[in-house]
Structure 1
Amino acid sequence: MAKTKTKTAYVCTECGADFPRWQGQCGECKEWNTISEMRLAPTPASGSRYQGYAGDQGGQVQRLSEINLEELPRFSSGFQELNRVLGGGIVPGSAILIGGHPGAGKSTLLLQTMCWLAQQKKALYVTGEESLQQVAMRASRLGLPTDKLLMLAETSVEQICNIAQREKPEVVVIDSIQVMQVADIQSAPGGVSQVRESAAQLTRFAKQHNVAVVMVGHVTKDGTLAGPKVLEHCIDCSVLLEGSSDSRYRTLRSNKNRFGAVNELGVFAMTEGGLREVTNPSAIFLNRGEQQASGSVVMVIWEGTRPLLVELQALLDYSQLSNPRRVAVGLDQNRMSMLLAVMHRHGGVQMADQDVFVNVVGGVKVEETAADLALLIAMISSFRNNPLSAELVVFGEVGLSGEIRPVPSGQERLQEAAKHGFRRAIIPKGNAPRQPIPNMEVVAVTTLSEALEAL
């Protein structure tokens, strides 16, 4: 028999585009130094054909109106915050990817979840980075039930699939996908081709056998998932566990979810007994000092399907530099510069000679435009050294012409603020409630000048 020739392709780790030869810049996403060599598996014989998933309808064509619309069955993970991020629970046959920095608590969260699930269902925990003794020591330290959880120390994807097919678990955890390897791929574990093929085979196994597969992924220094970009495309749900080493709180955020809403947020606290749920995260981010300082204001942001109250702080100081500094932590710095121009043009306040520092307390990252009005009010409070009322809450989008635009879910934001004891709110006129909210004064404004007068 003739020797099979190994084919080589060059794949971009960012967008997944492939090229016949190596080049410095990707022609699709225009990123530099992202092309990596990938050795392809031998082409199967021409007589072989693709074996579909077990849930396929045998290649039959169906009308859209004839498809069964029964709700997907889900089962609880044991954590209500994790269920919220996943869209209501774990879907059988789904492929879930959980990423995070080293020490964020990915393995701890999954070990707690699997020990709880093993009491009701058959669960398999596959560890490729740690020994079985290390995992057992962590479970003993956390006081978890260890009598029913199945453990396996293996890095071969083929062996894992064979053992899982024999044991027939309902949930499988792969810790982590970066150390898994496929026999047909010649590159080292952690490479582009290995991660790509390992994730593809595990996802195919999940669909064929209706098994929920949870994979742990590492992240790079800029916070993105390591490995090829196609890794995020082939899985059903991508979740990121964030948290700094000096903070005991961890946030779980959904970036992609085929079975629920994206941008859901779950909050956990790292304790001696593992991760614990935080059912009222607004109380954490509103842990303010006894004396109200200037430049501090509370805003209501919308995370997934619930409102969240966080404190926004601004500090303005006269700059000795010809080009004053603009630093934003938790907010978009470019948007902050734009709002400074709006303040000068439509608010009549000149801050060009001031160093501006903005921080969202608690490490929360705010990406929505509902924080615009709160940011401007915090900056003007610090600029004039005038503290704001501790019972004031603010939200609203600011346009380039100085108008205050409404934001989604305004009624729910006001109700959340009233529940935490806030008595006054400055909001867009489009979000004014039809019925008065008990014990709360609502000031509806349409322009920036009206908002400054309301202060």
Structure 2
Amino acid sequence: MAKPKTNYVCNECGAEASQWFGRCPSCGTYNSLEEQFLPQSASHPSRGLQSSQRNGKSAAKIPQARASLTFAQITDNHQERWSSGYDELDRVLGGGIVPGSLVLIGGDPGIGKSTLLLQTANQLAQRYRILYVCGEESGQQVKLRASRLGVANTNPDEEENGGASVEVEPTVSVEAPVKSIPGAAADLYVLAETDLEEIIRELEALRPNVAVIDSVQTIYLPSLTSAAGSVAQVRECTAALMKVAKGENITLLIVGHVTKEGAIAGPKVLEHLVDTVLYFEGDRFASHRLLRSVKNRFGATHEIGVFEMIDRGLREVSNPSELFLGNRDEVVPGTALVVACEGTRPIVVELQALVSPTSYSSPRRSTTGVDYNRLLQILAVLEKRVGIPLSKLDAYVASAGGLNVEEPAVDLGMAIAVVASFRDRIVDPSTVLIGEVGLGGQVRAVSQMELRLKEAAKLGFKKAIVPKGQKFPELGLEIIPVAKVIDAIIAAIPPQHHADEEMLEEDED
């Protein structure tokens, strides 16, 4: 009998080695290599054919394709989507939940991943059979958290009798039927288990439409000697869950922990195995949360959904511009309004700038929510092309609400906010600024301009300063095209004597 082949796999980075090392050659972690037995494969199917050809024997039949199909042979069934009960989540998923898909949700501890999935599971349980697998909590703890969130497992027929469930508008007209199983109706079932074999047996027995795994780092495969959460365990558990999900057409919503760098913990193959990767992010000290898509096989990437954390859990925000506009009644110098795009969603954001004399040998520059390097570039352009002396002044720029707006389309708003703070002037609060600032001082066009202008018009803005050279339909906005930054400054911040004349006219009226 042949000796079984082995290799050594690092628990931290997943690197493989043919022999044991006290220190991983890839990541440098000590005592992280673990021995694994390679599966014994049968003789290669082509070897018998090659040997028969060498012996002068020919095959009786010409080999034919057995399992592969052409596109014409594959049945074209329209794939329906299920509504999750939250329009923001459906937007990020590309229009709803795809049956049989694997969705991985990552985020910092305490950001609200389990809260989002528990509320979503409750909404889906009104129409489908849902299994909630919790590896971090007991069943009693999950029920306690559900009662705190106001989660009620009432069916739609019970709503007339005083049920506390929330009415859900379905995304698709055709809903998937609940698989018929005696004694198991459409409801939310909780399983407190970390053994993957037990979880798979429950999935095959209950056959839910959707299953939530909270989290993949807590479950383990008994046949592996490594601890739960190791690279080998995460990889093998995810692969086994994917096989069951695709075979039984079960949608899996999987929670993934993140590292201190913000990436999902475990091997990179984890993100390759799943169909969709979502990141739930936001400041723990702020109320809003952003659900961002970074991979989606069934929809667009870089879409975002906006939620707000309240005492009863997460509430979706249908108009996120209200969160990031700030107080428009009391306008102060150094503020400007921009229209940023996250995927296909335009959001009006208020940028705030503060320019003041420095008390240090070298001036300080600080940003919150905007790109630090873009600020340095804009300060250099304003000093070189416009002639504003900023080299000995501190400069601070922040976005209202802490939303990250790092796209080039906010360059013009950042430049105008800095100039307004330097001159101690107020930018018209009914004006939005859209455009990229080049190193030569020119204002360049950006993508999705019409979508941004429609959002500004919908929110009641009167003027928009945009790059020159584009034509737009009538949107109810006064479009001011500019070619250079100096032109935008003149349009957004009129000279002092013009402002004084307007104030005198208002006093006379």
The TM-score, its normalising length taken from structure 1, stands at: 0.90
Identify the match of residue 332 of structure 1 among 348, 357, 371.
371
What does 1:286-297 align with in structure 2 at a 5 Å threshold? 286-288=325-327, 290-297=329-336
Residues 7 and 16, structure 2, Cα contact 8 Å, conserved in 1: no
- The range that moved more, 161-170 or 61-70, is 61-70
CA–CA separation in structure 1 for the residues paired with 2:389 and 2:7: 63
Show the counterpart of 1:447: 484
CA–CA separation in structure 1 for the residues paired with 2:122 and 2:438: 50
Instruction: Give the C-alpha shift of residue 108 in structure 1.
Output: 1.1
Show the counterpart of 1:437: 475
Show the counterpart of 1:29: none
Instruction: Summarize the Cα distance change of 1:69–1:361 in structure 2 as closer, same or farther, 3 Å threshold.
Output: farther
Instruction: Summarize the Cα distance change of 1:199–1:407 in structure 2 as closer, same or farther, 3 Å threshold.
Output: same
SS at match of 2:37: coil
Show the counterpart of 1:144: 151
SS at match of 2:119: helix
2:425 partner letter? N
Show the counterpart of 1:53: none
Uncovered stretches (5+) of structure 2, i.e. residues with no partner: 45-64, 155-186, 493-509
1:125 aligned to 2:132? Answer: yes
Show the counterpart of 1:42: 37
CA–CA separation in structure 2 for the residues paired with 1:59 and 1:7: 34
- The range that moved more, 221-230 or 173-182, is 221-230
Identify the match of residue 84 of structure 2 among 71, 77, 83.
77
CA–CA separation in structure 2 for the residues paired with 1:230 and 1:400: 40
Instruction: Summarize the Cα distance change of 1:407–1:143 in structure 2 as closer, same or farther, 3 Å threshold.
Output: same
Identify the match of residue 219 of structure 2 among 180, 203, 207.
180
Instruction: Give the C-alpha shift of residue 426 in structure 1.
Output: 0.7
1:406 partner letter? A
Instruction: Summarize the Cα distance change of 1:9–1:403 in structure 2 as closer, same or farther, 3 Å threshold.
Output: same
CA–CA separation in structure 2 for the residues paired with 1:90 and 1:9: 35
Identify the match of residue 283 of structure 2 among 234, 238, 244.
244
Show the counterpart of 1:344: 383
Higher Cα Rg, which structure: 2
Instruction: Summarize the Cα distance change of 1:19–1:332 in structure 2 as closer, same or farther, 3 Å threshold.
Output: farther
Show the counterpart of 2:500: none
Show the counterpart of 1:192: 231
Show the counterpart of 2:314: 275
Instruction: Give the C-alpha shift of residue 62 in structure 1.
Output: 3.9
SS at match of 1:178: coil
Instruction: Summarize the Cα distance change of 1:24–1:166 in structure 2 as closer, same or farther, 3 Å threshold.
Output: closer
Residues 116 and 145, structure 1, Cα contact 8 Å, conserved in 2: no
CA–CA separation in structure 2 for the residues paired with 1:195 and 1:187: 10
2:103 partner letter? I
Instruction: Give the C-alpha shift of residue 220 in structure 1.
Output: 2.3
What does 1:2-401 align with in structure 2 at a 5 Å threshold? 6-10=6-10, 13=13, 18-20=16-18, 26=26, 33=28, 37=32, 39=34, 41-47=36-42, 60-63=67-70, 70-146=77-153, 148-288=187-327, 290-401=329-440
Instruction: Give the C-alpha shift of residue 356 in structure 1.
Output: 1.3
Instruction: Summarize the Cα distance change of 1:108–1:7 in structure 2 as closer, same or farther, 3 Å threshold.
Output: same
Residues 10 and 35, structure 1, Cα contact 8 Å, conserved in 2: no
CA–CA separation in structure 2 for the residues paired with 1:409 and 1:60: 44
Size of the aligned set, in residue pairs, is 439
SS at match of 1:413: helix
Deviation string 1:72-117 (CA, Å, 9 cap, x unpaired) is: 3211111010000111111111111111112211111111111121
Residues 370 and 404, structure 2, Cα contact 8 Å, conserved in 1: yes
Instruction: Summarize the Cα distance change of 1:182–1:277 in structure 2 as closer, same or farther, 3 Å threshold.
Output: same
Instruction: Give the C-alpha shift of residue 134 in structure 1.
Output: 0.5
Instruction: Give the C-alpha shift of residue 144 in structure 1.
Output: 1.7
Residues 412 and 436, structure 2, Cα contact 8 Å, conserved in 1: yes
Residues 4 and 38, structure 2, Cα contact 8 Å, conserved in 1: no
Instruction: Summarize the Cα distance change of 1:408–1:289 in structure 2 as closer, same or farther, 3 Å threshold.
Output: closer
SS at match of 1:183: coil
Deviation string 1:6-61 (CA, Å, 9 cap, x unpaired) is: 53124773xx65455576774xxxxx657984546433332499xxxxxxxx9634
- The range that moved more, 340-349 or 301-310, is 340-349
Instruction: Give the C-alpha shift of residue 186 in structure 1.
Output: 1.4
1:43 partner letter? L
The TM-score, its normalising length taken from structure 2, stands at: 0.81
Instruction: Give the C-alpha shift of residue 326 in structure 1.
Output: 1.5
CA–CA separation in structure 2 for the residues paired with 1:96 and 1:48: 37
Uncovered stretches (5+) of structure 1, i.e. residues with no partner: 27-31, 50-57
Instruction: Give the C-alpha shift of residue 192 in structure 1.
Output: 1.7
CA–CA separation in structure 1 for the residues paired with 2:66 and 2:11: 31
Instruction: Give the C-alpha shift of residue 274 in structure 1.
Output: 1.6
CA–CA separation in structure 2 for the residues paired with 1:309 and 1:192: 42
Instruction: Give the C-alpha shift of residue 445 in structure 1.
Output: 0.8
2:357 partner letter? Y
Residues 94 and 300, structure 2, Cα contact 8 Å, conserved in 1: yes
1:74 partner letter? R
Show the counterpart of 1:52: none
Instruction: Summarize the Cα distance change of 1:427–1:67 in structure 2 as closer, same or farther, 3 Å threshold.
Output: farther
Deviation string 1:385-444 (CA, Å, 9 cap, x unpaired) is: 1111111100111112222111111112111111111111111114441x3332x22110
Deviation string 1:274-332 (CA, Å, 9 cap, x unpaired) is: 21111111112113153211111110011111211111111111112222212111111
Instruction: Summarize the Cα distance change of 1:35–1:122 in structure 2 as closer, same or farther, 3 Å threshold.
Output: farther
Instruction: Summarize the Cα distance change of 1:23–1:360 in structure 2 as closer, same or farther, 3 Å threshold.
Output: farther
SS at match of 2:217: helix
CA–CA separation in structure 1 for the residues paired with 2:211 and 2:385: 57
CA–CA separation in structure 2 for the residues paired with 1:88 and 1:258: 12
